[in-house]
Amino acid sequence: MSVSPRPGAALSNLPEMYREMVLVRELSSRAVALQRQGRIGSWLGSEGQEAAMVGSAHALEPFDWVFASYREHAVPLVRGVPVVALFNHLFANVDDNARGRNLPPEYTFREVNFVSVSAPVGNQALQAVGAATAAQIRGDRTVVMTYFGDGTASQGDVHTAMVFAAQLKAPVVFFCQNNGWAISVPTARQSAVPLVERAAAVGLKGIQVDGNDAQEVLDATRAAVDRARSGAGPTFIVAMTYRLGAHSTSDDPSKYRDAAELARAEARDPLRIARAQLGLSDSEDEAIRAEARRAIAEAVAQAERVPRPQAIELCDGVYAEMPWHLRLEQQEL
């Protein structure tokens, strides 16, 4: 179904972005259920952060590159990856690009320039600056976006990456989803100043945005991407948002945050904000959600039918020439 912006609103991507935000919210809910049922291994949710992910991803061109963390589920979807491909990864089947070798959810989608996510936090920022510098040397128009959270922003890798990017004027955008918590440590315990103020210390342009307003995120990120593409240098964007759910399926947030804080955050749910901006009726909104649930149910059913890789394939594609001891083990297997 088509959804029109609210009367008087500027032409925007909001109708499309809202459908994508709903899709990733429903995806996260289903992934938690699958993990609880023992059908997938683990899950790190993104409830409450949909506007930050979707809005920023819409600012990129198809030829740009993304170095993400384990929570940017919406970004590959926005870039054209089908929902079933995310579930192929979560079920670790033979259609998974990583063929079951990465922890879930640590996607890799080379087909849309989405670099493999890894468990260590922060290293992707350095890799992003390297890729951006390579693009700069080649003289092409590529911009690189790297995502991380407020906790990861305290990692030395991120600081080093920002120092190099600023010095080289690398075409990179640092996008921090400040969701209030580094697992159980609040942002106030992590930094004596607002995170965005760190940009000035290393020579970056710093922008803080309402991470729960998808259109505001898109506008700010598009400006940062255009700035990087023009050769004016990198930008550090801090999207102020909130993690409504648990850090992961092995986390219990009730142990470290109170119900009143969560209630205040739920009042600013990005889906609620976008729906109000679009002026959607209950029936229009339910149609969008039902469509998302159908797409996810079909993707789950399809991905779960695909077999998993066999143990004998473990080293396929890893070595140009497999070491003798692994060949021996493969033969024994």
- 328 burial (CB, 10 Å; 0-12 / 13-18 / 19+) is exposed
| DSSP at 308 | P
Pairwise CA distance, residues 307 & 64, whole Å: 33
Residue 77, φ and ψ in degrees, nearest 5: -65, -45
User: Which pLDDT score, from 0 to 100, does residue 135 have?
Assistant: 97
φ, ψ for residue 158, nearest 5 deg: -70, -45
Residue listed under structure tokens 């970056």: 204
Return d(Cα 207, Cα 223) in angstroms, integer.
10
Predicted confidence band of residue 2 (pLDDT cuts 50, 70, 90): very low
pLDDT in tens, 205-217: 999 999 999 999 9
Q: Residue 150's closest CA among 119, 120, 117, 185?
A: 185
Q: How confident is the model over 145-194, as pLDDT tens digits?
A: 999 999 999 999 999 999 999 999 999 999 999 999 999 999 999 999 99
The set of long-range contacts for 82-87, using a CB threshold of 8 Å and a minimum separation of 24, is 82/299, 83/23, 83/27, 83/295, 83/296, 83/299, 84/298, 84/299, 84/302, 84/303, 85/109, 86/27, 86/299, 87/299, 87/300, 87/302, 87/303, 87/304
Give dist(CA 333, CA 90) in Å, integer. Answer: 26
Lowest mean pLDDT among 18-32, 238-252, 303-317: 303-317
Question: What number is the average pLDDT over the span 30-55?
Answer: 97
Position 4 confidence tier, pLDDT thresholds 50, 70, 90: very low
Integer Cα distance of 144 and 63 in angstroms:
10
What are the C-alpha distances in Å from 228 to residues 43, 112, 149, 197, 232? 33, 20, 21, 20, 6
pLDDT higher than threshold 50 for residue 322:
yes
- Say what the pLDDT of residue 317 is: 84
> What pLDDT, on the 0 to 100 scale, is given for residue 8?
34
Paired tokens of 105? 């959810």
- The pLDDT mean for the chain works out to 94
Taking residues 264-269, report their average pLDDT: 97
Catalytic residue among 256, 264, 308, 327: 256
Residue-wise pLDDT for 83-139, tens only, equals 999 999 999 999 999 999 999 999 999 999 999 999 899 999 999 999 999 999 999
Instruction: Give the mean pLDDT of 237-244.
Output: 98
Please tell me the predicted confidence (pLDDT) of residue 7. Answer: 36
Virtual torsion, Cα 198, 204, 207, 212, nearest 10 deg:
-80
Instruction: Answer yes or no: 247 catalytic.
Output: yes
Residues in the chain: 333
123 contacts 131 by C-beta, under 8 angstroms: no
Q: Are 56 and 239 in contact (CB under 8 A)?
A: yes
Give the confidence band of 316 by pLDDT, cuts at 50, 70, 90. confident
Position of tokens 């991905």? 303
- DSSP H helices, the chain, are 14-36, 50-57, 74-78, 83-90, 123-138, 156-168, 198-202, 214-229, 259-266, 270-278, 282-305, 324-332
> Distance (Å, rounded) from C-alpha 32 to C-alpha 41?
10
Active-site residue, 89 included: no
Q: Which of 25, 73, 247, 275 is catalytic?
A: 247
Question: Of 177, 179, 249, 247, nearest to 31 (Cα)?
Answer: 249
CATH of 14-332, one of 3.40.50.10490, 3.40.50.970, 3.40.50.620, 3.30.420.480: 3.40.50.970
1 pLDDT above the threshold of 70? no
| pLDDT at position 216 | 97
Identify the pLDDT of residue 9: 36
pLDDT at residue number 318: 87
> Is 227 known to be catalytic?
no
Distance (Å, whole) CA 233 – CA 224? 9
**Does 243 score more than 60 pLDDT?**
yes
| pLDDT at site 12 | 67
* pLDDT for 59 beyond 70: yes
